[in-house]
Each structure stands twice: as C-alpha cells, then as structure tokens.
A and B are shown apart, each in its own frame.
Chain A
Amino acid sequence: MSQISLKNINKIYKNQEYSLNALRDLNLDIEKGEMIGIMGKSGSGKSTLLNILGLIDQPTSGEYQIDGKIISDYTPKEIAHLRNKKFGFVLQDFALIERYTVVENVKLPLRYSDVPGVERMPKVYNLLEELGLYEKKDMLPGYLSGGQRQRVAIARALINDAEIILADEPTGALDSSTGKEIMNLFLKMKQKGKTLIIVTHDKEIADYCDRIVTIHDGSI
C-alpha cells in the first residue's frame, strides 16, 4: 500500500467570469521514503498539487488517501491535526514569522501537538544543534542569510517528526551553493525514512530525486 495515493483528482477554480481546471483526473502513488520531484511549466498545476497533498487545499473531486485513510472523511479540525503531525512545509519564501526568534519559529508546530511542554525546548535545541543553528537561536529571521532561514524552515518542518516533507521551490531564493547545501539536508532526511515531495523547475534539483513527475496542463 502506498503511503500517499491520489485517484482521479480534479481541482477546478471557479468565479463568476471563468472556470479553470488546475488538475485533471490526476493519479499518483507515492511510497514511504521516496523523494519525488514535481516539475512543469509555470501554471501547470504543480503548486496546486502540492497544496492538495499538504491538506491546505481540497480537490474538487477524486480520492486522496494517506496510509490507506480517505481524507474526505476527516473534519477540518482532524485535517489540521493531521497537517501538524504528518507534514512539514518548506516554501520558497521560507514562510517564517519575522517577529519570532529562530527558537520560536521552530517551536511553533509543537504548540499544536501533543508533545508535553517540558519536552519541547530540548527537542528544539537538539534539532537546531543538528542543523548548525544553535548559535542563532535567539536571532530574528531578518538577521539570517537565505540559507540559514531555509534551514530554520526545515527545522520547523522536522520538529514534529513529520513523515512527509513538502517543499515548494525550496532553493528558488538561494544561490546555487546554498541550494546544494539544502538539497544535501533533504537527502539526509530521506535517509532517515522521510518521504519528500519537491516542486521545482530546476533540473539540477530534480536530479537529486528518485522519481520525477512532470505535470502538463493539470495532468501527469
């Protein structure tokens, strides 16, 4: 059984003037521990697919299963909880809260988890140490380099032991050497058994992946 299974997924954006089929009858299975690259032209539906995978958007029709459970059976509260437990997000613009320190940003998912309060800070500090960010723990994101900020985002994605990491153009705002550093981190995560789904238009980044899925006009 695949960890993630998408069957006949459609996503239609509608307003009074027009209707757009962002995804059309999309089928995709992803195994646990795979590192998948999703490629396609701008507007092909890559980010839409990632949003649906990450439970931050719902498909118009079709079936989405995680570990054999159908997502449409979940309430919004359960979906939020699942997002907290199962998924980690790494976005192009890092999506850090600028007024929170590094520690506060990394600790954020733990606020919505069942991890007891006393265990939170040791977990955060260990992870920051692992990612080489411990000395920066009390700094605001504004004082960090792009690579450091992305590492903070990765730390936040990993803090809850998420099984699935979703990355949307994770190296898009970084120079090539920093980008390589980030991809090496992703490889380390894969070695630890994480499933990684990376949206990219960069072939060099896609080369790190086990499999490349190309989307064209909403279909694979």
Chain B
Amino acid sequence: MKIILNQIDLMWKDIKQTKGQFWLGLIQILIASIVLCYTVQIIFQSIDSYGKLQNLNQNNQIYYIDENMESSQIDELINAKDGWKTVKELDNYMNKSFGNACIQMDSSSNLYFYSNNLKQIDISEIPVEEDDTDVYKAKSLKVSSNFFSTFQIAGDYNREEIEKQFKGAKAGETLPIILGNNYKEQFHVGDQFEDDLKQKYKVVGFFKEGESYISPFETSYSTLLDDYMVTPAVIKHGDTSSLLFNVTNRYFVTNDKAKISQIVKKANTLKIRPLIIKDLKPQITACKDDMANEIITMSSIALLIFAFASIGIINYFIRFIAIREKEFAIHMLIGATKEEVIARIRLQLIFMIGIILVGLLLCYGSCKEVYITVGIGVIYGELVLRYPIYIFKQQSIVRILRRNMR
C-alpha cells in the first residue's frame, strides 16, 4: 500500500511538471474516446438491426401490399354506402389467411396533443415539436400486436401482455401506448393523456434505449424508437378511408406467394384494385449489405479517429520515458526496482483511463458501449507502452547513467 501511495505521489508530481502536455494529450484522447463510443453505439445498433433483419428474412419472404388506385376510385369506394363493409371484408380475409404473418406498421401520421393534455409534464424535456400555438406533435407508429415479436422489440414490459392489450384494443376506448426511451424521465407506467381528437391513451411501457425496427422503405432502414409513441393500429368503425389505407399498406412474412396472390384476387372481386404485391427480398438484401458495409466503415472510421487522436498521447509517453531516463536510473540507484519505475508510468495510463471512463459515463451513462470503448483504450494503451517499456527494461542503471553523464 505504501509503495502504491509512493508511486501515486511520484506520478502526480510527474503530471504536474509536464507543463500541460499531459492534459493536452488527455483532452485529445478524451474527445476521441467520446467519438469512438458514439461510433461503437452505432455499430452495435447496426449489428442489432442486421440481426433482426436476418431473423426476419431467415426462413421467409417478406411481401408488401400496395395499391395503385386512381383518386376517383378511392373516393368512390370511401363514399359508397357499403364501402366500409367491402374494405372490412378484405381486412378480415387478410387476417384470417395470414394471422400473425400479417403485420401492420403505419408511421405516416404523428400524434398531436395540446400542452394542457399533458399535465405535470415538462414539454421541453420530451422529443416533441411545436406544430402550432400550444399544439405539439410526436412521432408515432401504429402497429398490429405481432409487431413486437416480429421485430424482436425489447422494452420494460411483458411482451405477451402487451400483445394481448394491443390485440384487444378498440377505437374510442383508452388505448395502450408504449413510449420511446426519451420519454422515460417525464412519463410513468399508468399515466394517461389524450390527443387532440380526444382519443385517450394509457402508458403501458417503455422501449429499451436504442431499440429499433426495420423498414426497407425508410431512408436509414433501421428506425430508432427512442422518440416514438407506439399505439395499436385501430380504426374507428365507419372510417373507410383509414381502413383502406390500413389494408393497402401491410407486410406479410410468408413463403406462400400463392396465398398472397389470393389476396389480390379477393381484392379484385371486391373491386379494390389494382393491388400490387412487392417482394421486399431485394430491398432487404440490399439493406443487409448496406448495414454490413456501414458496420465495417464505421468500425474503420472509429479506429482511425482513435489512432489519429492518440498520436499525441503516444508521443507524450515516448518522450516522457526518454526525458526521464536518467531520473529513473537515479531512483533505481537509491532503491527503486525497475518494476516500481514502470508502475509509475503505467499509473499515468491508468489515471488517463479513469478520466476517460468518468467522461464517457457522464456523456452516455452506464452502458456496454462505454465499457467496450474503455476496454479498447486499455488494450491500446498497453500496446503503446509495450515498446518503450521493453526498451527501458533492457537497460541497466549503469548504462543509463553512463549515457546521461556524457
């Protein structure tokens, strides 16, 4: 213990007398670590998304039903006396034929609410935008109950329970709502609020930080749910327009293309046409390739950033050992072992890593990406020191003193 305290005292003296060089190097590496950690997060998200996509696509094809109807056709259908019944028949047919393989996922609309709908919430602390005076909008996603299992969405909820709640949800009643992680500080499970159309919601859970779902039509393929409010895709009875939009924007996870074709035939008989089947496999394959490339590219960028920023630190340690060589020899002359001298150098590295850990925890909180980044720093630091320490170990006190006395 005494030896450790002694070395810490010497290390602190060393740092104080570097005239800011140590701190400059530390700031450089700290900034690089923050960037590296961010990159590691992106890499992990991409790997997670890739895994989900792989899982989704493993044994199945994914089809998307879209419509190519003229506006006049749509208007005619919506305004028809039996329009709701016709579209509902198609909806029932799809659900009956495919069950859990039929996924609804609508991100086309936002959720609007007045500020006084959210009592005791600090609006500035939640990811919403002011749309009009006192009207706020939040990103929203309307989904079917099988959305969570299909995309392996994780959160602090029981998935089976949530699926049950989403399945049983009815328009006009209080709907369950799951919020992204960025709402977690302001909302609690059980909180209730209503939107601008007086639809009531009850918070039933939160997504895990960084959770995402895959949509090949989104620009970035993988959409983070941190800022989203996710509700069941329920349609009010008689709202033919919404139901039509709903049935003509669905995903089907199946290998049975013949069955998909049956939907089109059924739609034709109901005069809901033309419906188009899109095979999403090429897009998903392209998605996966892009994600893999992104992972490789981000990893390379991350390591380059780290390596480049650490040039200052490498230079610092090499210079430090070279300049202090005689001093180390004097310490050994009066009773220090080589290991004690090397410990003093390593302590500086440990101190730096400690500062980096604190900095990353302040920026990102406790998460695996922070510890991975610090781990990379430890390994890298050890590699950086390896050569100078090896050279130092080969020297004898006599040789160092003689060299510095000339």
List residues of chain A with CB under 8 Å of any chain B CB. Answer: 51, 54, 56-57, 76-77, 80-81, 83-85, 89, 91-93, 95-97, 99, 108-109, 111-113, 156
Contacts and interface: CB of A to CB of B under 8 A. Distances in A.
Nearest to B329: A95
B60 interface: no
Interface SS of chain B: helix, strand, loop or mixed?
A: helix
B334 to A, nearest CB: 4
A56 B333 CA distance: 7
A83 B335 contact: yes
Contact of A97 (B327, B396, B397): B327
A95 B326 CA distance: 8
Contacts of A112: 6, 334-336, 340
B1 interface: no
Given A80-B332, A97-B330, A57 B337 contact: no
Interface string B373-399: 000000000000000000000001110
B56 interface: no
Given A83-B333, A83-B334, A83-B335, A56 B6 contact: no
A87 B107 CA distance: 81
Given A56-B398, A80-B336, A83-B334, 6 more contacts: A56-B396, A56-B397, A80-B335, A83-B333, A83-B335, A108-B331
B394 to A, nearest CB: 13
A30 B337 CA distance: 27
B333 A113 contact: no
Interface string B248-284: 0000000000000000000000000000000000000
Contacts of A97: 327, 330
Contacts of A77: 337, 339
Contact of B401 (A80, A81, A95): A95
A109 B397 contact: no
B396 A57 contact: yes
A80 B330 contact: no
A109 B335 contact: yes
B337 A76 contact: yes
Contact of B405 (A81, A92, A96): A92
A95 B330 contact: yes
Nearest to A80: B337
Contact of B334 (A57, A84, A92, A93): A84
A84 B335 contact: yes
Contacts of B396: 56-57
A49 to B, nearest CB: 12
A49 B367 CA distance: 59
B169 to A, nearest CB: 71
